[in-house]
Structure 1
Amino acid sequence: MNTDSVFVERALINGDWTPFDLDTVKMLMTIFDVDRSGTIGFNEFAGLWKYIKDWQNVFKHFDRDRSGSIDGGELREALAQFGYNLSPQLLELLQKKYANQAATGRGPAPGISFDRFVRACVVVKQLSESFQKLDSDRDGWIQINYDQFMQTVLSLP
């Protein structure tokens, strides 16, 4: 981990004062390192900060029970409003993948914390966009070989 990721990780705190998940920090740095220098400059960080503030409003909107985390129903509603109508099986898989670690003491509440919610939504968006690029006839099915699939998935930030 470089010093920029340490700085960004320390600057980004969830609503419960827990630090951002390192994988989320890395994903955000990849998105906002627009000059691909491997570091986040002031202007890039300013863009990242605005992005986080916008996502905080989205999170508050969908955290209907004000628990500080997103449960399965709230996740389903959020993704549906973003235009992603995932099957119950995919929603359950997504919820399990991004769920907070076991809540203990001052740790995060059960469900999906703010930082992991952002990451889950961004990943769904990136995967959906990648799929749509490969679904040339827009029928919901793609015919690709293993190399094409791996190139698509591994090229995601």
Structure 2
Amino acid sequence: GGAHYGHQPSAPYGGAPGAYGAQGHGGQYGHGQGVAPGAPYGGYGAQPHGGHYGHHAPAGNFKLSNIPHGVNPEAHQWFQTVDTDRSGFINLKELKQALVNSNWSAFNDETCLMMINMFDKTRSGRIDMFGFSALWDFMQRWRALFQQYDRDRSGCISSMELHQALAQMGYNLSPQFSETLVQRFAVRGVRPGIQLDRFIQVCTQLQTMTQVFRERDTSMTGNVRLSYEDFLSGTVTRLM
């Protein structure tokens, strides 16, 4: 039973903070409250060669001995390629150049910035090797979830597919709500639905807002008395 926003208190996405969260895979770099899964560098291709659901391939070789402890080897290889100015950090421009959807379109700025903010422990607007490794794991889990519901392999999640995904995450929301989200974030000229970048953005922000609501819904009724400014303060704090 319980509130409308998450029928299972321990559900991986609509439920308790921490489940499938960036904290579990990224340590101090994961600022999200139990944010959910995804894919590195576009579509479904976790391998450098990618294919139709691929991503920009990393160049060059790397030595395992040079990988810092706790850093994903694949993430290390990608970091060396994406860090084009060899600064030791990945900024918004560099991350945006690395992330592509299944039709090879670049990830939108809002999603890239959201992820940098999530894994930027210094609040400098960029992420180091460890933050990038945590982001890599975060993206891998998102990719897996996206692939699970993009059953026709169109590279887009339809409103019906989104509704099914949100239901699995523990959200008791109407099909009309999913349709509204898809209409809001669909890209013109692309097949109906939302691509991987917007899927990550929508679900992560939905979880953030749900957590704000949950903290105030102490009786788990699905209803709270909340001022407009209180709501904005809670969501802005978690999204920044």
Measured against the shorter chain, the TM-score band is 0.7 to 0.9
- RMSD of Structure 2 on Structure 1 (CA): 1.5
Report the equivalent of 2:229.
147
The structure showing larger relative contact order (alpha-carbon pairs under 8 Å, at least 6 residues apart) is 2
Q: Could you say which structure has the larger radius of gyration?
A: 2
- Say whether the 8 Å CA contact 2:163–2:174 is kept in structure 1: no
Unaligned runs of at least 5 residues, structure 2: 1-89
Contact 2:92 2:125 in 1 (8 A): no
Separation in 1, partners of 2:191, 2:176: 23
Residues 20-68 of structure 1 deviation map (CA, whole Å, 9 limit, x = unaligned):
0110001111111134333210111111122112211111110011111
Mapping of residues 6-155 of structure 1, within 5 Å: 6-99=93-186, 101-103=187-189, 108-155=190-237
Distance 1:59 1:150 in 2: 29
| Conserved? CA contact 2:156–2:192, under 8 Å | yes
Structure-1 separation of matches of 2:210 and 2:117: 18
**TM-score by structure 2 length?**
0.59
**Number of aligned residues:** 150
Following superposition, the deviation at residue 124 of structure 1 comes to 1.2
User: Kindly, what percent of the aligned residue pairs are identical?
Assistant: 35
Quote the offset at 1:156 in angstroms: 3.0
Query: In the aligned structure 2, how far is the partner of 1:57 from the partner of 1:92?
Result: 22
- Does the 8 Å contact 2:160/2:178 carry over to 1? no
Instruction: Give the 3-state SS of the residue equivalent to 2:238 in structure 1.
Output: coil
Aligned counterparts of 2:210 and 2:227: Cα–Cα separation in 1: 18
- When the two structures are superposed, what TM-score results if normalisation uses the length of structure 1? 0.88
